[in-house]
Chains A and B, each alone.
Chain A
């Protein structure tokens, strides 16, 4: 069966520091991968999605970037965090772009 791992679970980082969040999927090949952000008490915002290695689509211009160095690995990065980058970051995967998405456990990021 397929599983998705996301880490770390929580992170407190100072403003201006770099960020790297990692997500890996097991049990499937060539998944579509997604990064979402959820601000406190709000809905989901799609940040990036990827249909294959090295293929990244950005939905919202921002202080973040994503990379997919391997088929089942998706990384969210920032060179310099802003206070507004705080939130709950969720990685997800699906077999097709418009099909059911399965979410990782999330990373709660607090920028101080």
Chain B
């Protein structure tokens, strides 16, 4: 059974600081997805990582995938308040995606 663990589950950051969210998964998976959820809203797709070594960047967010280590990271550069949200990673399992529990990111001045 595929298990996906994110850490930290809660992250309070100051603006302009850098930080990384980690997503570990338990069995072989060659696809990894990152989603963003604003409070009270649905999930929005951020990144699709389809192969080992894949790196995607959008603004202050950069995601990478290491399938050998079964690890994906979401790096936040110079955080701004607009990035406050919950971030989920999801790995492709045998039949469906398996989601992590989410990382709640709070960026404050």
Select the residue from A43, A57, A105 with max chain B CB neighbours within 10 A. Answer: A43
- Report yes or no: B96 in contact with A97, Cβ–Cβ below 8 A: yes
- Report yes or no: A100 in contact with B33, Cβ–Cβ below 8 A: yes
| B97: A residues at CB distance < 8 A | 94, 98, 101
Give CA–CA (A57, B42) in the complex, Å: 23
Least CB distance from A27 to B in Å reads 16
Least CB distance from A56 to B in Å reads 13
| B40: A residues at CB distance < 8 A | 108
- Report yes or no: A98 in contact with B93, Cβ–Cβ below 8 A: yes
Asked whether any CB of chain A lies closer than 8 Å to the CB of B25, the reply is no
Give CA–CA (A72, B69) in the complex, Å: 38
- Report yes or no: A98 in contact with B31, Cβ–Cβ below 8 A: yes
Give CA–CA (A43, B48) in the complex, Å: 20
- What is the size category of the interface that chain B forms with chain A? 20 to 34
| A44: B residues at CB distance < 8 A | 43, 88, 99, 102
- Report yes or no: A98 in contact with B88, Cβ–Cβ below 8 A: no
| B33: A residues at CB distance < 8 A | 100-101
Asked whether any CB of chain A lies closer than 8 Å to the CB of B92, the reply is yes
| B48: A residues at CB distance < 8 A | 100
Give CA–CA (A92, B35) in the complex, Å: 13
Q: Which residue from A34, A100, A108 sits with its C-beta under 8 Å from B45? A: A100
Cβ-closest chain B residue relative to A34: B96
Asked whether any CB of chain A lies closer than 8 Å to the CB of B68, the reply is no
Least CB distance from A92 to B in Å reads 8
Q: Given A43-B102, A44-B88, A44-B99 in contact, is the A104-B42 Cβ separation under 8 Å? A: yes
- Report yes or no: A46 in contact with B96, Cβ–Cβ below 8 A: yes
| B31: A residues at CB distance < 8 A | 98-99
| A31: B residues at CB distance < 8 A | none
Q: Which 7 pairs from chain A and chain B are nearest by CB?
A: A98-B92, A43-B101, A103-B43, A44-B99, A103-B42, A106-B42, A105-B42
A contact set with B: CB distance below 8 Å: 34, 42-44, 46, 49, 57, 59, 90, 92, 94, 97-106, 108
Interchain Cβ contacts under 8 Å between A and B, 5 examples: A43-B88, A43-B100, A46-B96, A90-B43, A101-B97
